[in-house]
Structure 1
Amino acid sequence: MCFLLQQYYENRLKTLDVLKAGGANPYPHKFLASISVPGYIEKYKGLNEGEKLADVTECLAGRIMNKRTSSSKLLFYDLYGDGVKVQVMADARTSELEDTEFSSFHSGVKRGDIVGICGIPGKSNRGELSVFPRKFVVLSPCLHMMPRQVRSRICLKVGS
């Protein structure tokens, strides 16, 4: 297991070196969040299923703790900030990136990365509060493999 963790770390460092060599800055200097994740939830929790506020843009920052792929043009992220979660529905149709750039960019986003997202508030068709990003920026790549969430497991020490 330790070898796997070390290899993951080294691969992430190599990825950052490639970005730097290409002239990109993997650690952007600033990102102005307009609202916190708890504030976002409180402000938009009353939206109806499938409703999107196309004339409103909010900017959030947080850590990606889960990534799910629906297709090459639709990805779901769980964005955590201040102990709470909001879903991010990254859709190539609403992104400011072209289709090939979209796929390439999102393949590099990993669990644990700290990101900034500017997008439209809304609820998915299943009723989950979401942000539909137009702009998605990795602010700080996570270099270490994040542990999977443990589901209510209690460990007891025997023999003490």
Structure 2
Amino acid sequence: MTEKENPLRQEKRRKLKELREKGVNPYPYKYDKTHEAARLKEKYAGLNTGESVEADVVKIAGRLMTKRPMGKAAFFNIQDESGNIQIYLRKEELDENSNTVFSLVDIGDILGVEGYMFKTQKGEVSIHAKKVEMLCKTLEPLPEKYHGLTDIELKYRYRHLDLITDPESREVYRKRATILRETRRFLDDLGFLEVETPILQKIYGGAAARPFVTHHNTLDMQLFLKISPETYLKRLIVGGFEKVYDMNRNFR
């Protein structure tokens, strides 16, 4: 289906145009938030049911994931890197700009919300919004919210969409970063020196695999993508280093 035939894309572009016509910048360059979602929920977890803290003004930014209008009020959830948090608003409490933004918002848009914390009758720590700003109007629809991307091939090709809809995929990235950090710390504590070996090599070696071949035009030289760092690490040992390691990528 082409962009012209897709009603969701057409509607998003119509709303983008209307936002601009009403004087709302749909892509502001800056928004100063005060907290992340997870930190707010942790900080105000001790509130009693129905209790609010109007004196504490908080500002948060995140992607709109759900929206539940209820007449002149609405509940919605926004998600940032740390997690998600529920937002509550009443239209008569918002300024004109905020009402314009909320009337033209779509799932997937990135919003800035200013308000105060309270705990709902169901015991959920939430933000009572006093101001809503559009930070990024999305022009492409998100995958279906409950199942996300289920096709493995699509997950690899559209990793950004998979990360938006699947918290487990985001956790893989965090765990990978932790593993690399702790591996480096372990080796550094043992006195090893981290080095970088060439990605493009004149002679490939260290493993029995067919290399990826490219050509250096200026030097008129055939080069190979690294199969293994072994030979270059050995050169460093010959050069006088006794403990070296390389957190590298090999191409096989």
Q: Give the alignment's TM-score, normalised by structure 2.
A: 0.53
Matches of 2:98 and 2:34, distance apart in 1: 24
Q: Hey, what does 2:58 align to over in structure 1? A: 58
Cα root mean square deviation, aligned: 2.7
Cα distance change of structure 1 residues 42 and 130 upon mapping to structure 2, 3 Å threshold: same
Deviation at 1:23, TM superposition (A): 3.7
Alignment of 1:74-89 (within 5 A): 74-89=73-88
Q: Tell me the amino acid that sits aligned with residue 113 of structure 1.
A: D
CA displacement at 1:2 relative to structure 2: 6.7
2:23 is the counterpart of 1:27:
no
Q: Does 1:147 align with 2:143?
A: yes
Sort the Cα spacing of 1:92 and 1:52 in 2 relative to 1 into closer, same or farther, 3 A: same
Q: CA 1:69–1:18 in structure 2 vs 1: closer, same or farther (change >3 Å)?
A: closer
Equivalent residues of 2:108, 2:138 under 8 A apart = yes
Q: CA deviation at 1:64?
A: 0.6
Where does residue 158 of structure 1 map in the other structure?
none
Bigger relative contact order (CA 8 A; separation at least 6): 1
- Percentage identity across aligned positions? 28
**1:135 is aligned to 2:138:** no
In structure 2, relative to structure 1, the CA distance for the partners of 1:133 and 1:23 (3 Å cut) is: closer
CA distance in 2, matches of 1:49, 1:148: 33
> What is the aligned length?
152
SS at match of 2:52: coil
Unaligned runs of 5+ residues in structure 1 are 156-160
Partner of 1:122: 118
How far apart are residue 31 of structure 1 and its match? Answer: 1.0
User: What is the distance in 1 between the residues matched to 2:98 and 2:132?
Assistant: 10
Aligned partner of 1:111 in structure 2 is 107
Counterpart Cα distance in 1 of 2:5 and 2:43: 39
Change (3 A) 1:139 1:103: closer
The CA deviation at 1:62 is 0.5
- Structure 2 unaligned residues grouped into runs of 5+: 152-252
Superposition deviation, residue 103 in structure 1:
5.5
Partners of 2:64 and 2:106 within 8 A in 1: yes
Structure 1 CA distance, aligned partners of 2:142 and 2:5? Answer: 10
Q: Does structure 2 retain, via aligned residues, the 8 Å contact 1:5–1:145?
A: no
Deviations 1:60-105 (A, max 9, x none): 001110001121x110101111151110001124x3326xx76554
Letter in 2 for 1:141: K
Q: TM-score, normalised on structure 1?
A: 0.81
- Distance in 2 (CA, whole Å) between partners of 1:37 and 1:83 is 6
CA contact (8 A) 2:78 2:84 kept: yes
Residues 102/33 of structure 1: CA separation in 2 closer, same or farther (3 Å cut): closer
The Cα of 1:135 is off from its aligned counterpart by 0.8
1:148 CA drift (Å): 2.3
- 3-state SS of paired residue (1:13): helix
Q: Secondary structure of the residue that 1:28 maps to in structure 2?
A: coil
